[in-house]
Structure 1
Amino acid sequence: MYLGIDIGTSAVKLVCADTDCILATSSVGIKTSSLQPGWSEQHPDLWWQATRDALRMLADKIKLSEVKAIGLSGQMHGAVMLDRDLRPIRPAILWNDSRATFECDELRMTQPQIGQIAGVLPLPGFTAPKIAWLKKHEPANYARLAHILLPKDYIGLRLHGELATDTSDAAGTMWFDQASRSWHVGIAEDTGVSPDWLPQVFDGHRVVGAVTAQAAAESGLKSGVPVVAGGGDAATGAISLGATEPGRGFISLGTSGQLFVADRKYKPNPERYVHAFAHTLPERWYQMAAMLNGARPISWIGGQLGLSASEVVALAETVRGDRVPIFLPYLTGERSPLGDPHIRACFFGLEDSTTRADICRSVLESVAFCFADAAQSFGDTMGSLSELAAIGGGAQSDLLLKLIATATDKPIVRSEGAETGPAYGAARLAACGDGAVAISDLAFQPPTTDRFEPAEMALLFERLAQFRRLYAAIKNVS
């Protein structure tokens, strides 16, 4: 039995699985703080506490002593800053934090080829500009800085005591040379980072440590259990679906949204903010559009209206008219394909007759429109895909998957265990590290449970055109 731990933005999710199926799951929610506009932070110790709580929940379903190996997954790009005693200096700055815009401009000037090296142009969500911001705005904290980790790697540190990451999470920092799969000293130094602050990089299936006696006492896990490097949530989500080879792709509908296409070659396309990153497996890369606003707008509007996410979807399903407003869902700016950290959300076309159901429908449609823009940014690459699998909490909505299939003109399929993707992918990597499965076995695609074909929806495409015109009209409004 293998354990996958996924450190998400809204929850820590755990999966116990054997080599081919999920046996048990648990989840514990976590909250994000935003002390100033554009800020998004979580304290790393919240992740460790949530992991321990989720393990206690899991222990009611399975015997933790039977776990043979552990894999890690997590939200990418977050800056976990540690002192010499390996303690967090401050809360981690997350992927959807937009404070470091000026530092991105500086990095473009000092490293004009950075898009080709790092696989994408600088944006404030990435790790590197966050440290440049820290040096400028929090010099006392910067002076204490001795080590930098990614979110899942902090959980790794608490489990096995080592400073380690994997190629896919390293890829999302902007310090990684994607072609050579190694840290780029020049980019690190230009953001105020000493290369020896960065962790050692491993392929995701490699064992990097074992559960310590202290971690065992705190977590209920057995001491000595091997822990593999794992991967960023995009890469582990890909593992859960077998998206390790060319011609395979998927969409992820968590707090953020992702459109992911696997490849055996490094193919940067920075001008469209298509990320070209190293996969967590050797000799593999991927292209990805990363939207800061995946299924998050659905839970956001639910919070405003006093509805659950499922109730938002149910209301949206009742709307069939042509007077649905247009919603720009950019609650925290947008990354792919706009590269615009300043844009914010808005409704257009509200009328006296607009209902809660109309608003819910407009929010669901906006998520589909973001994926349409993402698919367009890939150009001819999309033609090689016969379909896109879907994972994440938002993948449970039939209506949303139907809208995305139509807006992108690609069939969308839902597979077994779709809602647990990254955690299950981490468990699969653990099984590979333990020798129970080979790397080639990670290309296995789980059975499809549902399929959604593009439909004839003329009104939807009219609103998509309005959506694009609306962004163009207000993008310079501050």
Structure 2
Amino acid sequence: MTDTPVWLGLDLGTQSVRVLAVDADGRTVAAATRPLTSHRAGDRHEQDPAQWWTALAAACREALNGIPDGRVRALALCATSGTMLLADRAGQPLTPGLMYDDTRATAQAARAAEAGAALWDRIGHRPQPSWALPKLLWLLRHTQNPPPPGARLVHQADHVTSALLGRPAQADSSHALKTGYDLDHDTWPTDLLDDLGIPEAMLPEVVRPGTRLGTVCAAAAEATGIPEGVAVVAGMTDGCAAQIGAGALEPGSWNSVLGTTLVLKGVTETRLRDPLGVVYSHRAPDGHWLPGGASSTGAGALSRDYGGRDLAALDTAAARHEPSSLLTYPLVARGERFPFLAPDAHGFTLGDRATAAEADHYASLLQGIALVERLCFDYLDLLGAPIDGMLTLTGGAARSRYWSELRADILGRPVARPENAEAALGMAVLARTSDGDSLATAASAMVRLRDIVDPRPDRTERLLGSHLRLVDELHDRGWLPPALAIHARRRAEA
């Protein structure tokens, strides 16, 4: 139908920008994507902020070609969590974009943790080197000092949303979380900022996700093809967006996003407290808490080792290696963030890779990521989180039926695969709330499940040995806390 409304979901990922136009029944009317490039060097990971806008504009023009202006009602945007830059008063970048897994700010994270000890104890998490707050401290020390008048921190989402509005955008509290925003009191922690020497004027005004920020300006309409006047709704981070897109909105439900890296997001009625600080909680528009964490393992290891290959054929071959003769801990970048914090952690493969078949090594990557996923749930269970609700799988890896079956086997629980496993859908759902629907109502209408994959008990038992072996190896290397190692063994042996 040519006159029914559509909502736009915009997703700024690590490797690409994705645009979805979605109707009221959750059907994709149009979609487009454009690639993004990164520069990695050791603990640094940067992108050019200019490409975020040019890639998004090109994807929007393609997706909206042929869709009448009157159909587009609203849009929302998600981006990678903790990605930030410094910009001048006019919003022009002063620095590259420091990405979500850039860990150069190790010393600054320790400084922020010490200065804000009381705050972090109350909130239940603490800053990590990849978070935006330590990276801001690093930039303030290593770029022009003092920064030029009017310089301010801009999250990745803020940068693009500002271009859509034609003026500096308010930040949403989801993207502001890793900059130290206090979700309990909906405010910046001014005492901590003073102690760290950060002028509060450098930080954006913050609103809750789902807030109407304004409308698409004329210049942005010309660049993107999005009609002028379309409502712009405050979004959430990519992990939260995928959680909305999966319909995981009830307490005890979880969504596992497996893309370049692995992100788990759940729902609790009260904030989950984590003494290690690797689990942090966003706040949903309905007031529930959204605990989760992001691992540095993920499908990026497949892109690194098997880029350009026929992964479906490799999946078929990998099925003959359960378990693999190799044990791989497939970090995408140095340092682990969840389910444990180990800045010095590095990927490894145990066994004789030189004589192992290619399919055996590929199988060890798939299994290794799934084993880390199980370890994440071991830790969540240790913290007392409810984990017995529906588990959905989203991200690019959810398109693989074999890998989804393997994950169900290793986790020992059913997993559901949404029909549309994209964070951009979650943003289209959130955009729909601008018309007055609650988030739960919008999600129930727009989220469609493709299938449910049940575990195979015989394979679960066969693969648990690999899990215990990984637990022992991570513990022996001094990365995995003893309490988590003990709990993981108990759950495996139960």
- TM norm structure 2: 0.89
Task: Report 1:351-366 matches (<5 A).
Answer: 351-366=353-368
Could you say which residue in structure 1 is the equivalent of 2:34? 28
Contact 2:10 2:75 in 1 (8 A): yes
Q: Does 1:336 align with 2:338?
A: yes
Counterparts of 2:255 and 2:154, CA distance in 1? 27
Superposed counterparts of 1:24-423, under 5 Å: 24-34=30-40, 36-60=41-65, 62-64=67-69, 66-140=71-145, 142-143=147-148, 146-160=151-165, 161-173=167-179, 175-271=180-276, 273-279=278-284, 281-303=285-307, 307-320=309-322, 324-332=325-333, 333-379=335-381, 381=384, 383-418=386-421, 420=422, 422-423=423-424
Say whether the 8 Å CA contact 1:168–1:231 is kept in structure 2.
yes
The code of the aligned residue for 1:172 comes to K
Which blocks of at least 5 consecutive residues in structure 2 are unaligned? 1-5, 480-494
Q: By how many angstroms is 1:272 displaced?
A: 5.9
Is the 1:272–1:377 contact (alpha carbons within 8 Å) kept by the matching residues of 2? Answer: no
Answer yes or no: is the 8 Å Cα contact 1:131–1:192 preserved in 2: no
User: Which deviates further from its counterpart, 400-409 or 147-156?
Assistant: 400-409
Identity of aligned residues (%): 25
- Would the aligned equivalents of 1:81 and 1:147 in 2 still touch at CA under 8 Å? yes
**What SS does the aligned partner of 1:109 have?**
helix
Instruction: Check whether the contact 1:6–1:152 (CA below 8 A) recurs between aligned residues.
Output: no
User: Is the contact made by 1:251 and 1:260 (CA closer than 8 Å) also made in structure 2?
Assistant: yes
Q: Determine if contact 2:324/2:364 at 8 Å carries over to the other structure.
A: no
Q: CA deviation at 1:90?
A: 1.3
Residues 171, 277 of structure 1: 8 Å contact kept: yes
- Structural RMSD (CA): 2.2
| 3-state secondary structure, aligned to 1:379 | helix
How far apart are 1:230 and its partner, in Å? 1.2
Q: In structure 2, the residue corresponding to 1:177 is in which secondary structure?
A: coil
The 3 A distance-change label for structure 1 pair 261 and 356 is same
The answer to whether the 8 Å contact 1:253/1:395 transfers is yes
- Contact 1:272-1:337 at 8 Å conserved across structures: no
Q: Which moved more, 1:342-351 or 1:182-191?
A: 182-191
Per the TM alignment, residue 9 of structure 1 is displaced from its structure 2 partner at its CA by: 0.8
Paired residues of 1:120 and 1:268 also in contact (CA < 8 A)? yes
* AA in 1 matched with 2:39: S
Q: In the aligned structure 2, how far is the partner of 1:32 from the partner of 1:248?
A: 33
Encode CA deviations 1:268-303: one digit per residue, 9 max, x unaligned: 224262222223x14221111211222222222213
SS of residue matched to 1:341: coil
Q: How is 1:420-459 mapped onto 2 (pairs within 5 angstroms)?
A: 420=422, 422-435=423-436, 437-444=437-444, 446-455=447-456, 456-457=458-459, 458-459=461-462
Contact kept, 8 Å, 1:172 with 1:277, in 2: the verdict is no
Q: Is the 8 A contact 1:319 1:357 kept in 2?
A: yes
Matches within 5 A, 1:460-475: 460-475=463-478
Shift of the 20–186 alpha-carbon distance from structure 1 to 2, 3 Å rule, reads farther
Q: Deviations over 1:233-256 (max 9, x none)?
A: 122222212223312221111212
Q: Which runs of 5 or more structure 1 residues have no equivalent in the other structure?
A: none
Task: Tell me the matched-pair count.
Answer: 467
Indicate conservation of the 8 Å contact 2:91/2:168, yes or no.
no
Task: Give the whole-Å Cα distance in 2 for the aligned partners of 1:355 and 1:297.
Answer: 18
Question: Could you say what secondary structure the match of 1:4 adopts?
Answer: strand
Q: Partners of 1:117 and 1:443 in 2: how far apart?
A: 32
| Equivalent-residue separation in structure 2 for 1:382 and 1:312 (angstroms) | 36
Residues of 1 paired with 2:324 and 2:415: CA distance?
Answer: 27
1:63-84 residue CA offsets vs partner (Å, 9 max, x unmatched)? 4553111111111111121112
2:90 partner amino acid: D
Q: Secondary structure at the match of 1:378?
A: helix
Partner Cα distance (1:466, 1:149) in 2: 43
* Aligned residues of 2:282 and 2:289 also touching (Cα < 8 A): yes
- What's the CA shift for 1:308? 4.4
Provide the C-alpha distance between the structure 2 equivalents of 1:373 and 1:115, rounded to a whole number of angstroms: 24
Q: Is the 8 A contact 1:274 1:377 kept in 2?
A: no
Q: CA deviation at 1:60?
A: 3.6
Q: Using structure 1 for the length normalisation, give the TM-score.
A: 0.92
Give yes or no for contact 2:127–2:178 (8 Å, CA) kept in 1: no
Deviation digits for residues 372-395 of structure 1, max 9, x if unmatched? 110011126455523301111111
Change (3 A) 1:144 1:395: farther
Aligned-partner Cα distance in 2 for 1:210–1:79: 23
Distance in structure 2 (CA, Å) of the matches to 1:261 and 1:3? 24
Q: Alpha carbons of 1:309 and 1:472: their partners in 2 closer, same or farther (altered >3 Å)? A: same
**1:161-216 C-alpha deviation (Å, 9 max, x unpaired):** 2321212112232x111322322123333444222222222222211011111111
Q: Which moved more, 1:84-93 or 1:64-73?
A: 64-73
Contact kept in structure 2, 1:275 and 1:289, CA below 8 Å: yes
> After the TM superposition, which of the residue ranges 98-107 and 381-390 deviates more from structure 2?
381-390
Structure 1 counterpart SS, 2:8? strand
Name the SS for the 1:40 alignment partner: strand
1:78 and 1:94 in contact (8 A); partners too? yes
Q: Which moved more, 1:254-263 or 1:64-73?
A: 64-73
The alpha-carbon distance between structure 1 residues 81 and 351, as it changes in their structure 2 partners (threshold 3 A), is closer
Distance in structure 2 (CA, Å) of the matches to 1:352 and 1:221: 52
